[in-house]
């Protein structure tokens, strides 16, 4: 389960204005203008500040096989595993250390969310990658990952979740 990292501000821009192919819908592109993105970010920062895990997620667009989100973190939260979804993340602001692999401590299933697990941290044989604004990373479904906020500034990222194909 290798991860790839590349700068890709254009990728996020395209993802936010194209909705047709990614979401299997006919029609014109759907634009989320920069002022709207800023309003979403500002709202999420307020919500993250009161969240016990320091994170807030805003859904920009949902489809049957993909979801576009903005995720804001004001502090390091829980480790994650998504068995049914891959994450494609572009950091918009702030810095995070992406920890992958190892063993998830305190792993528990998210109620009402099949294939979603959380834990307190990742330990053991892990890899750390520093992500900065403009960096893009793909996290395959089933990969343990943990975003550790670097410094005291909030982080904001665009996350495109891609549903893993159902195996027959």
pLDDT at 100 over 70: yes
Which domain, by its residues, includes 72? 4-163
Query: For residues 147 and 124, what is the distance between their CA atoms, to the nearest angstrom?
Result: 16
> Looking at the domain assignment, is residue 124 inside a domain?
yes
- Angle value at C-alpha 93, between 8 and 80, nearest 5 degrees: 85
> Looking at the domain assignment, is residue 42 inside a domain?
yes
Structurally, the chain folds into a number of domains equal to: 1
> Looking at the domain assignment, is residue 65 inside a domain?
yes
Residue scoring higher pLDDT (110 or 12): 110
> Looking at the domain assignment, is residue 168 inside a domain?
no
pLDDT digits (tens, 9 = 90+) for 15-54: 444 444 455 556 788 899 999 999 999 999 999 999 999 9
pLDDT at 167 over 80: no
Query: For residues 63 and 68, what is the distance between their CA atoms, to the nearest angstrom?
Result: 9
What is the Cα 100 distance to its own chain's centre?
14
Q: Which two tokens stand for residue 88?
A: 């494609």
For 71, half-sphere exposure in the C-beta direction (CA atoms, 13 angstrom radius) is 22
> Looking at the domain assignment, is residue 8 inside a domain?
yes
What is the average per-residue pLDDT within 63-88? 96
Answer yes or no: pTM beyond 0.85.
no
CA dihedral sign, ordered 133, 125, 3, 76: negative
Please report the pLDDT score of residue 166 as a whole number: 74
Q: Which residues pair with 66 in a beta bridge?
A: 162
Q: How many residues are listed for the chain in this entry? A: 168
pLDDT at 87 over 50: yes
User: For the domain that residue 25 is a member of, what is the CATH number?
Assistant: 2.60.120.370
What is the Cα 55 distance to its own chain's centre?
11
């Amino acid at each position: 389960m290798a991860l790839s990292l590349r700068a890709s501000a254009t990728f996020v821009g395209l993802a936010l204005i194209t909705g047709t192919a990614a979401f299997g819908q006919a029609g014109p592109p759907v634009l989320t203008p920069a002022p709207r993105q800023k309003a979403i970010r500002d709202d999420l920062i307020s919500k993250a500040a009161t969240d016990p895990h320091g994170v807030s997620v805003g859904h920009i667009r949902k489809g049957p096989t993909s979801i576009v989100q903005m995720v804001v973190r004001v502090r390091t939260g829980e480790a994650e595993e998504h068995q049914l979804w891959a994450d494609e993340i572009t950091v918009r602001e702030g810095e995070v250390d992406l920890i992958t692999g190892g063993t998830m401590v305190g792993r528990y299933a998210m109620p009402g969310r099949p294939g979603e697990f959380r834990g307190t941290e990742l330990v053991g044989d892990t890899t750390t990658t520093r992500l900065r604004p403009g960096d893009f990373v793909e996290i395959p479904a089933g990969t343990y990952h943990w975003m550790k906020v670097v410094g005291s500034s909030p982080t904001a990222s665009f996350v495109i979740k891609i549903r893993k194909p159902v195996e027959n």
